[in-house]
Structure 1
Amino acid sequence: MRRTLVAVMAMAVITPVALAACGKDDDKGANAWMSTPSAGASASAGADSSREESATVPISLAVTPATGKTDVPVSAEIGFKLAGGKVTTVTMKDSAGKAVAGTLREDGSAWVPSAPLKTKQKYTASVVATADDGSTKTAATSFTTMGKPGKKTGTGLYLFDDRTYGVAMPVVVEFSPGVKKADRAAVQKRMFVTTTPAQPGVWSWTPNGTQAYYRGPEFWKSGTELKVRIAVGGLPTGGGRYGDRDRAATAKIGRSFEMKVDNRTKKMTVLQDGKTIKTMPVSLGKKGTPSSSGVMVVMEKKEATVFDTTDTDGADGYVTDIEFAQRLTWSGQYIHSAPWSVGDQGRRNVSHGCVNVAPGNARWLFDRTLIGDPVTVKGTGDKLSYGNGWTPWDKPWSEFIKGSALPVPANLK
């Protein structure tokens, strides 16, 4: 069936751009924004150094923001300019003397508070660096944060806390309005992902800057924990705007479950943990409304819904009850039960772009899939548009990493 956009999850501020396609419904889920995880490798906060400073080893240490600086964004980090040692302790306190928690960046270049600072507050910070011989150097600063910004960039994170996702689940962040190229590097530096067990990954932006995806060269390993913090609350995002708030979630990756659809055979092959467990006939989009070929993921599941295309197709539109619907694109392509096309499935394409399957097969799939399971369609007359759904896997790794606003490590190129 062909339908118009319905958001997979209700974002705190924004919703995706509507596109015409297989049907329409007005139900919207609720997204969850969770507590802030750490931003990188741990560093002690609040501990005092036990060693005396020594002039025998020339440690050079300066910190930012500069002492006395005002109107500092609440996203402020304690930055270091250091030679002759490494930072071993960072202590930060608010105007009431309460300690502020935070962590060191993995590269040791700065200390990141675990949550945005408060507006119009004075903060003090003390940084201790230690040389190889045990001698230390201490530097301190105090600064005052800015007031509430007049313009904000809305943000959203398509990830629920304590949920289990498929192996192709990308980390998807949205920005409204989109972030311009000149401002993306600073924003990307504040988007943290930790995988357990450790797996490489890179951020990549869509051309208009409204979305950024995080994925690795391969699908996630089953059992992986994804810990995400989008630490853009109060961060300058360009054009006098500041990020609306931090977003965070911790989720897990489940078993491998892949669906591969071939227009030539008009069959879907289902693999679990790399082994074929089922094949089933399908009917794809007819000539005038072809299904998209590409690598997609399941974005939403609804056991029962209504496809309504009357607002886009007028007199040619329809209202149809649908069961076991699984969204693949924003433009409205789904896998769903289609009892009216059972006779065509495996033989010819009659849908409005969706993957039609028999009711029993639709239920079988619905009972086993997870949000984030990959779906590959090949051999149709239409190429999947990048950004029409969660599409980072539709680009080869060499192309995907070109969308990063920061240099990609040599070992990932």
Structure 2
Amino acid sequence: MGRFARAGAMVGALVLTASLALTGCGDDQKKPAFVANGQSADPSATASATASVTTPDTTSGSPQPDAPPLRVSPADGAKGRPVSTEISAEIPGGGKVSEVVLTAANGKAVAGRMRRDGSSWVPSAPLKYGTRYTATVTGTGTGGQTHRGTSTFTTMAKPKSMIGSGLYLFDGNTYGVAMPVVAEFSPGIPKKDRAAVQRRMFVQTDPPQPGAWHWVDNGTQAYYRAPEYWKPGTTISVRLALAGIPLSNGRYGNVDRSATAKIGRKLEMKVDNATKQMSVYENDALIRTLKVSLGKKSTPSSSGTMVVMEKKEHTVFDTRDEPDPRNRYVTEIDFAQRITWGGEYIHAAPWSEGVQGRQNVSHGCVNVSMANGRWLFGKTLVGDPVTVKGTEQRLAPGNGWTAWNMSWSQFVAGSALPVPDGGAGPAF
């Protein structure tokens, strides 16, 4: 019986813990490692050092005498700017930025691209600490005239107080259709900072699908998902561009993290306590029905929509630290698939095969036979959805990747930024 604990090794030496006690049959093991693959560039960024939006200059290519210079931000001479700084400009009388060129003091150009709404230009990688940069911005006024402006600014020294972050997505992996993008923070992001942080968390999908972010109450996690499960075959590219982002508590983001992953075929597992059976669907067609034994009344399984978070062909459940001595044991387990942080798994349980399909005897896990456990383990991916219904306990928010255990309207209510009807599109 595991507790609700998510302590684990985060790449970059981040360790997170939580203390909400929930019943589960598995051990209180470490979380899967976060992605920190050394990629700091935006996977969707172009190789160009200029904005991806260009507007032809209908003049000779030089500002007209009556076209005042535009105002660039950061302002000329600004010092101590965060390495997360974006470039923006104000065109006198209104207009549209058409080009941004950013160069470091050594003359090296910085790649980046314009946000889709035109509000700013985002470097494809964090700027360097303690470095001088020059931004040259070109824009077109409402009357067609060309405006230009230049600003030279200096970034801040590397701060001492940083916030840890992680990304539960591994570059190049294939996941199930319910795989949320999971960002994690230690300590949590204060509510007043979440909008600024969310603006720096970029997700793009191919084919395009709308989506939104949802923050858990304590700000330690944010999930990104679409209104429905991802389309099979989708490519998801993520950049958490948080290096150097300033927070109100005096901390700064530690690193940029990025990953590009694929979504595989559609597979769903649906467990009904009334029948004590699991129905397995592949591409919406029922392919097998399995007998199960769920948690007994004193240690019930959670009802709700969960996601396979990790898979272990062989493991050991060690629950000797449980407060209730009746729930302490050490047991070797085969074909284990974690679905909650609280210790609930789908796994083979040969000792309960005689009552599977008729009686609940587990410590909260979904027990299946050895043969069915082996078969199911070979079919599933991390990110496959598991829905359990009819038990005595409801799934607690945050006990696992619970992004799908709420309606779309409930999900978008947890966004720190407004979400258009149907979901937000990509930033670029």
Query: Which range, TM-score by smaller chain?
Result: over 0.9
Match of 2:380 among 369, 388, 392: 369
Decide whether the 8 Å contact of 2:225 with 2:403 is kept in 1. yes
* Aligned mates of 2:271, 2:400 — CA distance in 1: 17
Find the counterpart in structure 1 of residue 79 from structure 2: 70
Find the counterpart in structure 2 of residue 378 from structure 1: 389
User: Any idea what SS the aligned residue of 1:238 has?
Assistant: coil
- Give 1 or 2: higher strand fraction: 1
Amino acid at match of 1:94: A
Match of 1:113 among 109, 115, 123: 123
Decide whether the 8 Å contact of 2:293 with 2:355 is kept in 1. yes
Find the counterpart in structure 2 of residue 195 from structure 1: 205
Following TM superposition, by how much is the alpha carbon of 1:237 offset from its aligned partner in structure 2, in angstroms?
2.4
* Aligned mates of 2:294, 2:355 — CA distance in 1: 10
TM-score, normalising length: structure 1:
0.94
* Aligned mates of 2:392, 2:186 — CA distance in 1: 32
Change (3 A) 1:281 1:245: same
Asked if residue 332 in structure 1 is aligned to residue 335 in structure 2, the reply is no
User: Any idea what SS the aligned residue of 2:355 has?
Assistant: coil
Structure 2: 5+ residue runs without aligned partners? none
| RMSD between superposed Cα atoms in Å | 2.3
Decide whether the 8 Å contact of 2:314 with 2:332 is kept in 1. yes
The aligned runs of 1:252-401 (5 Å cut-off) are: 252-313=262-323, 315-316=325-326, 317-401=328-412
Following TM superposition, by how much is the alpha carbon of 1:410 offset from its aligned partner in structure 2, in angstroms?
3.6
Asked if residue 225 in structure 1 is aligned to residue 235 in structure 2, the reply is yes
* Aligned mates of 2:193, 2:30 — CA distance in 1: 35
User: Any idea what SS the aligned residue of 2:247 has?
Assistant: strand
Following TM superposition, by how much is the alpha carbon of 1:32 offset from its aligned partner in structure 2, in angstroms?
3.0
Following TM superposition, by how much is the alpha carbon of 1:31 offset from its aligned partner in structure 2, in angstroms?
3.5
Following TM superposition, by how much is the alpha carbon of 1:64 offset from its aligned partner in structure 2, in angstroms?
0.6
User: Any idea what SS the aligned residue of 1:70 has?
Assistant: coil
User: Any idea what SS the aligned residue of 2:297 has?
Assistant: coil
* Aligned mates of 1:377, 1:11 — CA distance in 2: 32
Cα deviation 1:318-369 (Å, max 9, x = unaligned): 0000000000000000000000000111001000000000000001010010
Cα deviation 1:138-161 (Å, max 9, x = unaligned): 111111111111211100000000
Following TM superposition, by how much is the alpha carbon of 1:3 offset from its aligned partner in structure 2, in angstroms?
5.9
Decide whether the 8 Å contact of 2:128 with 2:155 is kept in 1. yes
Cα deviation 1:180-226 (Å, max 9, x = unaligned): 11110000000000000000000110011110000010000000000
Find the counterpart in structure 2 of residue 181 from structure 1: 191
User: Any idea what SS the aligned residue of 1:343 has?
Assistant: coil
Change (3 A) 1:371 1:323: same
* Aligned mates of 1:171, 1:129 — CA distance in 2: 35
- The more displaced of 252-261 and 309-318 is 309-318
Find the counterpart in structure 1 of residue 108 from structure 2: 98
Decide whether the 8 Å contact of 1:326 with 1:335 is kept in 2. yes
Following TM superposition, by how much is the alpha carbon of 1:29 offset from its aligned partner in structure 2, in angstroms?
4.8
Find the counterpart in structure 2 of residue 31 from structure 1: 34
Question: How many positions carry a matched residue from both structures?
Answer: 412
* Aligned mates of 1:306, 1:27 — CA distance in 2: 12
* Aligned mates of 1:52, 1:206 — CA distance in 2: 51
Structure 1: 5+ residue runs without aligned partners? none
* Aligned mates of 2:34, 2:207 — CA distance in 1: 26
* Aligned mates of 1:350, 1:2 — CA distance in 2: 16
Asked if residue 45 in structure 1 is aligned to residue 49 in structure 2, the reply is yes
Change (3 A) 1:352 1:54: same
Decide whether the 8 Å contact of 1:4 with 1:309 is kept in 2. no
Change (3 A) 1:349 1:363: same
User: Any idea what SS the aligned residue of 1:128 has?
Assistant: strand
Asked if residue 61 in structure 1 is aligned to residue 65 in structure 2, the reply is no
Amino acid at match of 1:140: T
Change (3 A) 1:348 1:146: same
- The more displaced of 143-152 and 154-163 is 143-152
User: Any idea what SS the aligned residue of 1:234 has?
Assistant: coil
Find the counterpart in structure 1 of residue 163 from structure 2: 153
